[in-house]
A and B are shown apart, each in its own frame.
Chain A
Amino acid sequence: MTATPMHPKYEVVIGLEVHVQLATKSKIFSWSSTAFGAEPNTETDPVCLGMPGTLPVLNAAAVEAAVRLGLAAGCKIRPRCRFSRKHYFYPDLPKGFQISQFDEPICEGGAIKFRLHGEPHSVRLTRIHMEEDAGKNLHAAAGVSFVDYNRAGVPLCEIVSEPDVRSAEEAAEYVRAIRSLVRYLGIGDGNMEEGSLRCDANVSLRLHGETKLGTKAEIKNMNSFKNVRDAVEYEVKRQATLLDKGERIVQETRLWDASRGVTQSMRSKEQAHDYKYFPEPDLPPLVVDEAFLAKVRATQPPLPEELFIKYTTEQGLSPQDAGVLVADRATARYFDSSVSSGAPAKPAANWIINEVLARVSDPRDLEGDAVPVPAKNLAELVGCVQSGTLSSKQAKDVFAKMWAEKRTAGDIVKAEGLAQVSDAGALEEACKRVVAANPEEASRFKENPKLMGFFVGAVMKETGGKANPKAVNEILRRLLG
């Protein structure tokens, strides 16, 4: 990869920690619901509230999701892994510790692959581990804060990368790739705005050619891809400026402030913490055996990179178009579905990219019964154009109608006689024949306009009833003078 370095003087070294909320129905260690957006403190139970005497019980679906993610990223899945307790005092952490994984995480190694400006990138992973989410603190005015424990106990996967990322752009794309992967696997929403995907970045600089790592700063509070890019860009500038002046970088945590466009050191350094990791005594070690792995492998959906290759090599799509289609599993599925309903790949791709995607705010709106134009209906429309029933311009109008009114191409073409319109030439011929065959009536038409009915009727008979009466009227009027 000979990408232009982000900074002329310093090599930018970025490692990312991404937390992904898993879309299981119940929490990782207890049975209450993970549903987002509920009224505060209405989705809790004694376990996730950390009440005395309660114990964690591990959700199988969370394990399956973590394994799915690990397999998709090419990680080594540990046959035996452990949970650990990570201690710190904070109101959103009910037990005063988080059940996480420390020295024996479920997945190790692996990589996230994606494309940036058409170039393939691969960012190596250190590990992926499971843990529970904390609740939410909300700051009110007047010296108080409020705590909502609905989110406490929602399952998370933490994806830790090696410091392989070299630019702000790459960092944003990396996070986007994780989102895509998570949605492809069906294990999570990957929604940064809702908090189901969170990202912290460790940023450091060093001179080009230097192998030793520079001092890093940890950047938090980036809640969109744009934020990730902007925050990293700012941080690189900040560190470069300091280094240019001969100053040292302080190893610290800094919060991204999107409204002011700066990263800020967390003022009044929080009180000392020692995570005091030790193995979670309430959960025996977790075994993930070959049978479990085989089951997950057998039900693993096709992934973006596989589909990209298929679309470009087997189906002849351009890398650009293929890239758009694989960006979200829902789009890819829609495309595959329209192709299997008979649409040729290239036209289907064009329609989806130019017309369909423009009409949805989230590709996931293409799933389910609510989509106005299901894939097979799009295939039918494409067929109309292919067969000459509709011109491409007409097809665009028809599509607009299909989307607005949830109707099929066939219905619209039939109802509005559009097919007949394209036979303008044939209609013209039929009218000419009828006029030529009835010269007496033709000459009397000017005095007796009611004869139009006779001629229309004759044309109808001539065309077996398929002529568009309106169009026929216009043609006859022209021919008869």
Chain B
Amino acid sequence: MDPRAATSTIASIVPAVRAGKIRAREVADAYLERIAREDAALGCYVRVDAEGARRSADAVDAAVKAGRDPGPLAGVPLGIKDIFCTKGVETACASKILRGFVPPYESTVTARLAAAGAVSLGKLNMDEFAMGSSNENSAVGTVKNPWSLAHVPGGSSGGSAAAVAASLCVGATGTDTGGSIRQPASLCGVVGIKPTYGRVSRYGVIAFASSLDHPGPFARTVEDTATLLEVMAGADPLDATSVPQPVGAYAKAARAGRQSGSSLNGVRVGVPAEYFAAGMDPEVEAAVRGAHEELARAGATLVPVSLPHTRYAIATYYLVCTAEASSNLSRYDGVKYGARAADPKSLEELYARTRGEGFGREPKRRIMLGTYVLRAGYYEAYYGKALRARRKIADDFAAAFAKCDVLVTATSPVPAFKFGERMGDPLQMYLADVLTVAPNLAGIPALAQPCGFSTMGLPIGLQVMGPPLGEEACFRVAGAYESRTSWHEKRPPDVGGLK
């Protein structure tokens, strides 16, 4: 397969580049050209860094020529969610308040990807400060779902998912705080994983909710996703919450799952009753049940389980994440970086106007709620309660994983919705996260992969959850499912022909 093709994968690019059969520069140029042609209609990239991409690609080629090891991701073109601080390259989190911020340092994740020979094509659009499920909360334009320009790509990593789906990069980085990798992956028909909390370093990832933020990869295949995660993951002395255990052999697990004839004998797939509640789109439910049957045909045993505190997950999530967000966003004040109100007459005016003008509606809403719940006198009733509910939710998963190896559910209760459909009522938007927020609260790994299409042609996604540090189990099951289906091979229609 031509490494420059829209269907290229890490497996088709890296060996060819390492062997000198194709130059990384040619691959990068092909992708840059595709971006130039097609991204105007989609809006995935907030900043294309053609010069930087070419320089990186040339460096990979120089290494190959000199006989040096160019790395396990040699020449792989990636998009980087604009929440990862990239040294010398503007990083603005899709917010006006960080416009013009150029970090003097590099995030651990992007440093590791670059050291592995990957080529960053540019920074990807997102919901402002990672707050949102549709990429409609961006201060720098919306992102369209490549499967239908009238529909949202999901969020907050909407640009990442859409770019991978539209072949504007081979893989992308994202972050998942309440579903922001998995939900857009499912709405765009690609693969994404929220790893175990602390598995991937948060250093250089602009914080939304510190105890819930999880950086992770997107790609079009399970194996590519696993390969990217292996490079991104690992202990980091710059992150005190980073997990010290050695990184697992994720790509190997994915391949083992994919092996033709591989069976899932002995694998127990948990089906939590609470994840099939009313309100789910019947087509989504049908696709997910179909996936369960496919896994059973592969030899897995379906085990009904219960996660009784699921109904409290949204409330818990929105109390914890807004409290932490209101704290993390305190630093944006016009003093040290980013935007600043013009001609403030006093310090207080500097703060109030910089923040009032610089933050969009969703960040403001969450800051307000977070401030409310942390106020002296309200702490125990709201935040204190939420932290205890969180413990119960984590305990539910622990109990379930005593009975099964993975949990398989839907990711989003509905396929992609139309622009503007959910912007009127924030609570409606929040409730759609019901299937994704619990793993963030518990810190367990959860992967999303395509498992069907709606009659309208919009992707439907499956969610595979594992116990803490159980990414290998997720990749194995996901790899097996992928090898028995062909959803991941379908490509979105040509952008030009869409309406």
Q: A and B touching (C-beta < 8 Å)?
A: yes
Q: Which residues of A come within 8 Å of B, CB atoms? A: 46, 49-58, 85, 87, 89, 91, 94-97, 145, 147, 271, 274-278, 281-284
Known: A56-B240, A89-B330, A281-B324. A276 touches B205 (CB 8 A): no
A271 proximity list for chain B (CB < 8 A): 348
Contacting residues of chain B (202-239) with chain A, CB-CB under 8 angstroms: 202-207, 209-211, 237-239
Number of interface residues of B (CB under 8 A): 43
Query: Which residue of the partner chain, among A52, A87, A274, A282, contacts B101 with CB atoms under 8 Å?
Result: A52
Contacting residues of chain B (305-352) with chain A, CB-CB under 8 angstroms: 323-324, 326-327, 330-331, 333, 335-337, 347-348, 351
Contacting pair A46 B210 (CB below 8 A): no
Assembly CA distance A399 to B246 (angstroms):
66
Known: A87-B327, A274-B376, A281-B211. A53 touches B335 (CB 8 A): no
A94 proximity list for chain B (CB < 8 A): 331, 335-336
Known: A53-B107, A91-B347. A147 touches B335 (CB 8 A): yes
Known: A274-B375, A274-B376. A57 touches B327 (CB 8 A): no
Closest to A45 in B: B105
Known: A52-B93, A94-B336, A284-B241. A89 touches B351 (CB 8 A): yes
Assembly CA distance A271 to B352 (angstroms):
12
Closest to A278 in B: B374
The 4 nearest A-B residue pairs measured at CB: A96-B330, A281-B210, A276-B374, A281-B211
Assembly CA distance A87 to B325 (angstroms):
13
Check B492 for interface membership: any CB of A closer than 8 A.
no
Assembly CA distance A55 to B207 (angstroms):
9
Known: A89-B333, A281-B324. A55 touches B98 (CB 8 A): no
Query: Which residue of the partner chain, among B347, B348, B379, contacts A278 with CB atoms under 8 Å?
Result: B379
Check B85 for interface membership: any CB of A closer than 8 A.
yes
The smallest beta-carbon distance between A153 and chain B, in angstroms, is 14
The smallest beta-carbon distance between B322 and chain A, in angstroms, is 12
Closest to A52 in B: B206
B207 proximity list for chain A (CB < 8 A): 52-53
Closest to A95 in B: B331
A91 proximity list for chain B (CB < 8 A): 335, 347
Closest to B351 in A: A89
Check B424 for interface membership: any CB of A closer than 8 A.
no
Known: A54-B203, A96-B330, A96-B333. A283 touches B348 (CB 8 A): no
Contacting pair B240 A283 (CB below 8 A): yes
Q: Which one of A89, A94, A276 has the greatest number of beta carbons of chain B within 10 Å?
A: A276
1/0 per position for B100-123, CB-CB distance to A under 8 A?
Answer: 010111010000000000000000
Check B383 for interface membership: any CB of A closer than 8 A.
yes
Assembly CA distance A284 to B210 (angstroms):
12
Q: List 5 A-B contacts (CB under 8 A).
A: A50-B331, A51-B337, A85-B327, A274-B371, A278-B379
Contacting pair A57 B103 (CB below 8 A): no
B104 proximity list for chain A (CB < 8 A): 46, 51
A145 proximity list for chain B (CB < 8 A): 347
Contacting pair B238 A57 (CB below 8 A): yes
Contacting pair A53 B379 (CB below 8 A): no
B210 proximity list for chain A (CB < 8 A): 281-282
B211 proximity list for chain A (CB < 8 A): 281
A89 proximity list for chain B (CB < 8 A): 330, 333, 351
B204 proximity list for chain A (CB < 8 A): 53-54
The smallest beta-carbon distance between B374 and chain A, in angstroms, is 4
B103 proximity list for chain A (CB < 8 A): 46, 51-53
Known: A95-B330, A274-B375. A51 touches B238 (CB 8 A): no
Closest to B239 in A: A55
Contacting pair A52 B107 (CB below 8 A): no
Query: Which residue of the partner chain, among B84, B205, B323, B327, contacts A97 with CB atoms under 8 Å?
Result: B327
Contacting pair A55 B347 (CB below 8 A): no
B202 proximity list for chain A (CB < 8 A): 53, 55
B336 proximity list for chain A (CB < 8 A): 49-51, 94
B351 proximity list for chain A (CB < 8 A): 89
The smallest beta-carbon distance between B443 and chain A, in angstroms, is 12
A55 proximity list for chain B (CB < 8 A): 202-203, 238-241
Assembly CA distance A276 to B93 (angstroms):
25
Assembly CA distance A94 to B335 (angstroms):
8
Closest to A89 in B: B351
Assembly CA distance A119 to B331 (angstroms):
50
Contacting pair B330 A87 (CB below 8 A): yes
A281 proximity list for chain B (CB < 8 A): 209-211, 241, 324
Assembly CA distance A11 to B10 (angstroms):
78
Contacting pair A278 B101 (CB below 8 A): no
Contacting pair B327 A276 (CB below 8 A): yes
Closest to B236 in A: A55
Assembly CA distance A284 to B337 (angstroms):
28
Assembly CA distance A54 to B105 (angstroms):
10
Assembly CA distance A94 to B98 (angstroms):
15
A51 proximity list for chain B (CB < 8 A): 85, 103-105, 336-337
Assembly CA distance A275 to B374 (angstroms):
9
Contacting pair A52 B323 (CB below 8 A): no
B335 proximity list for chain A (CB < 8 A): 91, 94, 147
The smallest beta-carbon distance between B277 and chain A, in angstroms, is 30
B330 proximity list for chain A (CB < 8 A): 87, 89, 95-97
A274 proximity list for chain B (CB < 8 A): 371, 374-376
Assembly CA distance A52 to B339 (angstroms):
13
Contacting residues of chain B (160-216) with chain A, CB-CB under 8 angstroms: 202-207, 209-211
Closest to A47 in B: B238
The smallest beta-carbon distance between A79 and chain B, in angstroms, is 19
A57 proximity list for chain B (CB < 8 A): 237-240
B101 proximity list for chain A (CB < 8 A): 52
Assembly CA distance A204 to B269 (angstroms):
67
Closest to B384 in A: A278
Assembly CA distance A147 to B375 (angstroms):
29
The smallest beta-carbon distance between B274 and chain A, in angstroms, is 27
A283 proximity list for chain B (CB < 8 A): 240-241
1/0 per position for B353-394, CB-CB distance to A under 8 A?
Answer: 000000000000000000100111001000100000000000
Assembly CA distance A284 to B239 (angstroms):
11
The smallest beta-carbon distance between B381 and chain A, in angstroms, is 14
Known: A52-B85, A56-B240. 5 other contacts (CB 8 A): A55-B202, A91-B347, A95-B330, A274-B371, A276-B326
Q: Which one of A51, A53, A89, A277 has the greatest number of beta carbons of chain B within 10 Å?
A: A53
Closest to B211 in A: A281
Assembly CA distance A46 to B347 (angstroms):
23
Contacting pair B238 A53 (CB below 8 A): no
Assembly CA distance A41 to B333 (angstroms):
18
Known: A276-B374, A278-B374, A282-B241. A52 touches B331 (CB 8 A): yes
Assembly CA distance A53 to B238 (angstroms):
11
Contacting pair A276 B371 (CB below 8 A): yes
Assembly CA distance A278 to B325 (angstroms):
12
Query: Which residue of the partner chain, among B206, B239, B240, B327, contacts A58 with CB atoms under 8 Å?
Result: B240
Assembly CA distance A278 to B103 (angstroms):
28
Closest to B207 in A: A53
Closest to B83 in A: A53
Assembly CA distance A58 to B375 (angstroms):
27
The smallest beta-carbon distance between A59 and chain B, in angstroms, is 11
The smallest beta-carbon distance between A230 and chain B, in angstroms, is 31
Closest to A280 in B: B210
Contacting pair B240 A284 (CB below 8 A): yes
Closest to B346 in A: A143
The smallest beta-carbon distance between B204 and chain A, in angstroms, is 4
B324 proximity list for chain A (CB < 8 A): 281
Assembly CA distance A65 to B202 (angstroms):
29
The smallest beta-carbon distance between A12 and chain B, in angstroms, is 30
Contacting pair A53 B203 (CB below 8 A): yes
Closest to A29 in B: B240
